[in-house]
């Protein structure tokens, strides 16, 4: 997707690189895309229909040269959440930039302070991914506790008739689940887990008056009172490596860690050693410190579930996200109020 251009979009592309005469559509507003995220790839035609997409990723030029030549007037950038980083240095190369549109919820890849200093607005996709991410958290938890992904591999390799019994799993009901970060996702996750008979408690920056779950003032305290720890906070400088040796040690030998937040919230090297040495019982991860690279020590372990950052990724949520991205861009280019602005004051 997004690599093969049809003749119509080729026309835009030709024009947008400034190498040919203006074509119909030349009065569409510029939208800079450094690297196509999945949202862009899935909906490229929709973006091309409404914007002159400046496809930095298709240019043979080095990025700085590309930006100097083609993006000096770009007022808006669409950025995907996994690899592209919106740094202060990058912003220096985009003197006309006024809007950063993230294609997901997390904005840890964007230097918000630098945006604030420049008066650049930032939008995310609001809450559209939180239901699906909460669902996925439950899927990962059942996956690791009931060994579901390993069971599927066991059947597919034809091992069942010969090997006979596949190992027993662990029961969800009655387990103490500690939620790290009781925001949109954490709250939805807690509601689901209650239906399974899990006992939910949480840690968050502050105690939530509206939550009826037990609050623990530190993550170590939460971990020491939990059978399962589920990370669903956002990544900030305060949460980087929040899940460290002390937390994993408090979680203990029979504990299970699930991460649906961001990879760097967990000290991955320490987690790998805890798993390899059997110092916790298992883990299920959707996110990693250095995506798309996953520590290869994990590949052979039966007590882990490894997912390629798919927590939020359903067809339906992508449709909803597109509406919000387009809504923010429409609002910006028509001088209306952005629908899901992110505070840059943190």
Catalytic machinery residues: 262, 291, 309
127 near its own copies (CB under 8 A): no
Binding flag, residue 317, its own copies (CB under 8 A): yes
Q: Which stretch binds its own copies (CB under 8 A): 58-66, 95-103, 266-274, 285-293?
A: 285-293
Binding mask 42-81 for its own copies (x = CB under 8 A): x---------------------------------------
Pairing status of strand 52-55 against strand 30-33: parallel
Whether 230 and 219 have beta carbons less than 8 Å apart is answered as: no
Q: Are strands 304-306 and 199-203 parallel, antiparallel or unpaired?
A: unpaired
| CB of 12 or CB of 318, closer to its own copies | 318
324 binds its own copies (CB under 8 A): no
Which has the closest alpha carbon to 259: 110, 147, 267, 221?
Answer: 267
Q: Are 137 and 230 in contact (CB under 8 A)?
A: yes
Under the binding rule (CB under 8 A), the answer on residue 299 touching its own copies is yes
Residue 307 in the binding site for its own copies (CB under 8 A) = yes
- Distance of closest approach, residue 336 Cβ to its own copies, in angstroms: 29
Rounded CA gap, 173 and 101, in Å? 41
Report how far residue 105's alpha carbon sits from residue 333's, in angstroms, rounded to the nearest whole number.
Answer: 22
Is the Cα torsion angle 219, 220, 221, 226 positive or negative in sign?
positive
Q: Residue 337 and residue 186: Cα distance in Å, rounded?
A: 28
Using rule CB under 8 A, residue 316 touches its own copies: yes
How many chain residues are in contact with its own copies, going by CB under 8 A? 60
Nearer to its own copies, 76 or 260 (CB): 260
Please name the residues in contact with 65: beta carbons below 8 A apart, sequence gap of 6 or more: none
Name which of 18 and 308 has its Cβ closer to its own copies: 308
Cα distances from 7 to residues 10, 13, 21, 26, 51, in angstroms, run 5, 10, 16, 16, 17
- Report the nearest approach of its own copies to the CB of residue 169 (Å): 5
Contact pick of 18, 20, 95, 197 for its own copies (by CB under 8 A): 197
Strands 282-285 and 304-306: parallel
The token pair that represents 316 in the structure block: 């339906």
Adjacent-strand bridge partners of 86 = 110
Give yes or no for residue 310 binding its own copies (CB under 8 A). yes
- Position among 20, 153, 218, 336 found at the interface with its own copies (CB under 8 A): 153
Q: Binder to its own copies among 16, 31, 38, 107 (CB under 8 A)?
A: 38
CA distance 29 to 193: 45
- x/- mask, its own copies, residues 166-185, rule CB under 8 A, reads x-xxxxxxx-----------
Give me the least distance between CB of 144 and its own copies, in Å please. 10
Spatial distance between the Cα atoms of 146 and 11, rounded to a whole number of angstroms? 52
Binding site for its own copies (CB under 8 A): 38, 41-42, 131-132, 135-136, 138-140, 142-143, 145-149, 151-158, 160-161, 164-166, 168-174, 191-192, 194-197, 291-294, 296, 299, 305-308, 310, 313-318
């Amino acid at each position: 997707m997004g690599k093969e251009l049809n003749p119509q979009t080729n026309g835009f592309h030709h024009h947008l690189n400034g190498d040919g005469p203006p074509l119909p559509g030349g009065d569409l507003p510029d939208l800079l895309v450094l690297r196509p995220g999945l949202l862009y790839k899935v909906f490229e035609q929709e973006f091309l229909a409404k914007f002159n997409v400046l496809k930095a990723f298709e240019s043979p030029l080095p990025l700085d040269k590309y930006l100097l030549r083609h993006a000096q007037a770009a007022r808006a950038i669409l950025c995907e959440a996994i690899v592209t980083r919106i740094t202060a240095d990058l912003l220096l190369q985009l003197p006309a930039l006024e809007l950063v549109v993230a294609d997901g919820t997390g904005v840890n890849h964007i230097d918000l302070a630098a945006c604030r200093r420049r008066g650049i607005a930032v939008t995310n996709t609001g809450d559209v991914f939180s239901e699906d991410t909460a669902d996925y958290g439950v899927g990962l938890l059942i996956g690791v506790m009931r060994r579901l992904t390993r069971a599927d591999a066991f059947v597919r390799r034809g091992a069942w008739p010969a090997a006979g019994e596949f190992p027993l799993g662990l029961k969800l009901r009655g387990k103490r689940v500690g939620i790290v970060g009781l925001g949109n996702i954490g709250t939805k996750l807690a509601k689901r887990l209650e239906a399974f008979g899990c006992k939910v408690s949480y840690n968050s920056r502050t105690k939530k008056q509206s939550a009826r779950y037990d609050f623990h003032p530190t993550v170590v305290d939460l971990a020491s009172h939990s059978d399962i720890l589920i990370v669903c906070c956002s990544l900030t400088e305060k949460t980087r490596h929040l899940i460290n040796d002390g937390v994993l040690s408090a979680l203990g030998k029979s504990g299970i860690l699930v991460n649906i937040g961001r990879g760097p919230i967990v000290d991955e090297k320490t987690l790998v050693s805890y798993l390899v040495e059997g110092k916790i019982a298992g883990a299920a991860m959707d996110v990693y410190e250095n995506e798309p690279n996953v520590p290869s020590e994990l590949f052979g372990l039966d007590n882990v579930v490894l997912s390629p950052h798919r927590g939020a990724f359903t067809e339906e949520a992508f449709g909803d996200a597109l509406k919000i991205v387009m809504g923010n861009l429409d609002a910006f280019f028509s001088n209306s109020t952005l629908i899901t602005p992110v505070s840059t004051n943190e």
